[in-house]
Amino acid sequence: MPVQIKSSQDIEHLRVAGRLAGELLDYITPFVQPGITTNELDRLCHDYMVNVQHTIPAPLNYAPGGHTPYPKSICTSVNQQICHGVPGDKVLKRGDIINIDVTVIKDGWHGDSSRMFCVGETSPHARRLCEITYEAMWHGIVKVRPGATLGDIGHAIQTFTEANGYSVVREFCGHGIGRRFHEEPQVLHYGRPGQGLTLQSGMVFTIEPMINAGRREIRQLADGWTIVTRDRSLSAQWEHMLVVTESGYEVLTVSEGTPLPPDFARS
């Protein structure tokens, strides 16, 4: 299916949905503490989406081809879990790292974002992984402009990540988004500059690198959803949704509590 170019009206709807995704992550932040379960995080987010934001949790019962319906309203990926972690009875403990990935639907439009959280005091090794992953995402974001290519984005993420001694997961990628949860294009987090789709104003997609402290190989757990590192090393992920503008990009998932971009992205 061809990449959809969003109209100014479409983009305004996506701004609203994206901001709500960011605000959901703001809301859940103070609850990410030792002793809480991932099920409780899911319940809190679900209730906030439905009762406060009046949004629909996109992951709930989402069932792409070959998958059983996803049973929860958010994804919670802890420590060696890379993505799509299913909330359950897991109790967070001091030193854990967790990615919370949320997607809301507002008036038929999707807003998709994720953040890393450190649970209490974490090791310098775990904290650095989270920080490098955040910077890797932004190294990709700043490449976005009309005339650039998807390969430029992936190359920037890959070279920065590998220069810092980490590896990029290759089986999962960013994606176009709009009225549908997942649209074209697929946004790889590795690649070669100048290759792949040429970006145009009005394209909307996510950039969401998954970075492993060890090797990049993965395996899937028996629940059919949760992806973990094969070598059981830690993994981290950050995600923003953005639109290609006439002069560059606009991040759509910014809210009051969104971490500031790194210095190199603000110059």
What is the full per-residue pLDDT of the chain (267 aa) written as tens digits?
789 999 999 999 999 999 999 999 999 999 999 999 999 999 999 999 999 999 999 999 999 887 899 999 999 999 999 999 999 999 999 999 999 999 999 999 999 999 999 999 999 999 999 999 999 999 999 999 999 999 999 999 999 999 999 999 999 999 999 999 999 999 999 999 999 999 999 999 999 999 999 999 999 999 999 999 999 999 999 999 999 999 999 999 999 999 999 999 986
Nearest to 215 by CA among 171, 262, 265, 155: 171
Nearest to 134 by CA among 150, 153, 115, 162: 115
Give the integer Cα–Cα distance in Å for 36 and 119. 10
Length in residues, the chain: 267
| pLDDT of 94 | 98
> Cβ(88)–Cβ(39) under 8 Å?
yes
| pLDDT of 66 | 78
| pLDDT of 173 | 97
| pLDDT of 12 | 98
Residues 6+ apart with CB under 8 A from 91: 35, 36, 37
| pLDDT of 267 | 67
| pLDDT of 140 | 98
Q: Which domains does the chain have, with CATH numbers?
A: 8-252 (3.90.230.10)
The three-class DSSP label of residue 233 is coil
Nearest to 191 by CA among 128, 143, 133, 250: 143
Give the integer Cα–Cα distance in Å for 125 and 103. 29
